[in-house]
Amino acid sequence: MTNCIFCKILNKEIPSKFVYEDEFCFAINDINPKAKKHILVIPKNHVESLNEVEDTMLLKHMFDAIKKINKQENISHFKTLINTGKNAGQEVMHLHIHILAD
């Protein structure tokens, strides 16, 4: 998707350090962290939001990735958050799961 920040980060058009990457998703530190550790887990395919997910195996894959990321980042107590739709606070219209840990 041409005008999508997360697609641009994935395509290296916007530089960003990946804290995790596999075949289907990647993770970056949030640019405006709302906790000591604030990581975004993002599918490589452009899916606008949870409402547009067709194969829910993607979500299983992302939660499996979260377990790996948390192990890597020494996170054991954390919150996950998915904002879906502008009225619910979704600012970037490319699905992502927030990991928040203090």
Using CB under 5 A, which residues numbered 33 to 52 contact Zn ion?
46
Instruction: Please report whether residue 15 would count as binding ligand 5GP according to CB under 6 A.
Output: no
Cα–Cα–Cα angle for 44, 56, 6, rounded to 5 degrees: 20
Instruction: Please report whether residue 94 would count as binding Zn ion according to CB under 5 A.
Output: yes
- 64 by DSSP, 3-state: which? helix
Instruction: Please report whether residue 56 would count as binding ligand 5GP according to CB under 6 A.
Output: no
Q: What is the DSSP letter of 11?
A: T
Amino acid at 58: L
Establish whether 96 is a catalytic residue. Answer: yes
Cβ 25 to ligand 5GP shortest distance, Å: 15
Cβ 57 to ligand 5GP shortest distance, Å: 22
Is the Cβ–Cβ distance between 44 and 26 less than 8 Å? yes
**Which of residues 4, 5, 53, 59 is near ligand 5GP by CB under 6 A?**
5
Strands (E), the chain: 18-21, 25-29, 37-43, 79-81, 97-101
The residues of the shown chain that bind ligand 5GP, judged by CB under 6 A, are 5, 14, 16, 28-32, 40, 83, 89-92
